Amino acid sequence: MKNLLLMAGLACLVGITGCNGNGDGGSGAGGTTGGAAEQDEFGPIKTGSVGEDEKPTVSFVTNGIASFWVVAEAGANKAAEDVNADVLVKMPAEGVADQKRILEDLLTQGVDGVAVSAIDPSGQQDILNEVGENTIFITHDSDSPFTNRCAYIGMDNYDAGRMAGKLVKEAIPDGGEVMIFVGRLEQLNAKLRRQGVIDELLDREPDSSRYDEPGKPVEGEKYTILDTRTDGFDFAKAKAEAQDAINKYPDLKCMVGLFAYNPPLMLEAVKEAGKTDDIEIVAFDEEDGTLQGIVDGHIHGTVVQNPYEYGYQSVKMLAELARGDSSSVPEDRFMNIPARQIRKDNVIEFWTELNQLLGKEPPEGAAETSKKEGE
């Protein structure tokens, strides 16, 4: 990630317009201006001219529809309340084309800022740069570092992938065959997580620019990554891919799901095959089915992000920038929201905190856990 951020900065220096700034400092949409730009090694930071007593309108755009984004939406709405802004949360249901349509609509509306989880960072550069030319633009969750975005808010996905790889090592310490499942590999976060898992299992030196092409096994001394299956956010296909892997590879020891919805569907497939004692599961994110699977002992652990903070910090930063304040933008343009490993020993505590943020009842077993901790 650090290499990518440095490369992004260099790209901005040699680019036509600079990072998140129009080359002529011209006016943007929705009251955003290219004036008040702060120059640093990454290029100018675009700010707006919304008054302190005015409500900027910003948008938080996801890369799909999932429970993960419901948590992020709660954070975005809370931030809008705290910083006196209006937020439009948009969740594309049909991939890249749908996300592009949403972004075009937002530009037409003249919003003061947009935060985007890029579905295809390379293929979407034109529309993303158009957003950056016309309004304040940041990324979250899935970065697009070679665009004119002002900042990225999220975790280091390569490091998080290595954290998941460590969970695999805990789950099957003697080694074995591993299969990876993910919605799509066009997203930078998916690529980096997958590579982090592979590099950790093969005990390689960290290198986030490394990329093992999918479609053939990657073998190490103890672990073999058989393949990576993608499903395009099609939940039925996601489960079918898990079922096919179980049938095709009788010696499969561990399944790794990189997107929030993958692990619960993988668990369904494992249960239906009667292999809960034979196949370990390592997850990403905090889907209820994943957390319950950890409680029940069917999922070894999960690497969680903090989607609530993604939503909160994105809206907060956009609102501040719209009012001309760039102080919340880190020097390296990366606001790191650290990942965490969740296992059986801390899952109830984490789940309780999550439900509190969402205004939901504590999960079953939370009261008993609190009682034991107080003894």
* 82 and 65 within one domain: yes
* 265 and 188 within one domain: yes
The amino acid sitting at 102 is I
The predicted pLDDT at position 374 comes to 46
Assign 220 to helix, strand or coil.
Answer: coil
The predicted pLDDT at position 99 comes to 98
* 347 and 221 within one domain: yes
The predicted pLDDT at position 357 comes to 83
Number of helices followed by number of strands (H, E) in the chain: 12, 15
- 3-state SS string over 338-356? CCEEECCCCHHHHHHHHHH
Contact of 310 with 79, CB cutoff 8 Å: no
The predicted pLDDT at position 20 comes to 39
User: Does residue 44 lie in a domain region?
Assistant: yes
The predicted pLDDT at position 10 comes to 35
Q: Please give the average pLDDT of every successive group of 10 residues along the chain, which has 375 residues.
A: 39 35 26 32 85 96 92 97 98 96 98 97 94 97 93 96 98 98 94 98 97 96 98 96 98 97 98 98 96 98 96 98 96 95 97 89 67 45
C-alpha–C-alpha distance, residues 281 and 302, integer Å: 9
* 318 and 215 within one domain: no
pTM of structure:
0.78
Report the DSSP beta bridge partners of residue 176: 223
The predicted pLDDT at position 39 comes to 35
The predicted pLDDT at position 218 comes to 98
* 170 and 79 within one domain: no
Tokens representing 52 are 């302190």
- Residue identified by tokens 């986030």 is 208
* 100 and 33 within one domain: yes
Domain of residue 131: give its range: 20-154+307-336
* 114 and 43 within one domain: yes
User: Does residue 5 lie in a domain region?
Assistant: no
The predicted pLDDT at position 67 comes to 84
* 298 and 162 within one domain: yes
* 162 and 295 within one domain: yes
* 202 and 102 within one domain: no
User: Does residue 15 lie in a domain region?
Assistant: no
Domain count, the chain: 2
> What Å distances lie between residue 234 and 30, 115, 231, 237, 238, CA to CA?
35, 24, 6, 5, 6
Q: What is the 8-class DSSP label of residue 93?
A: S
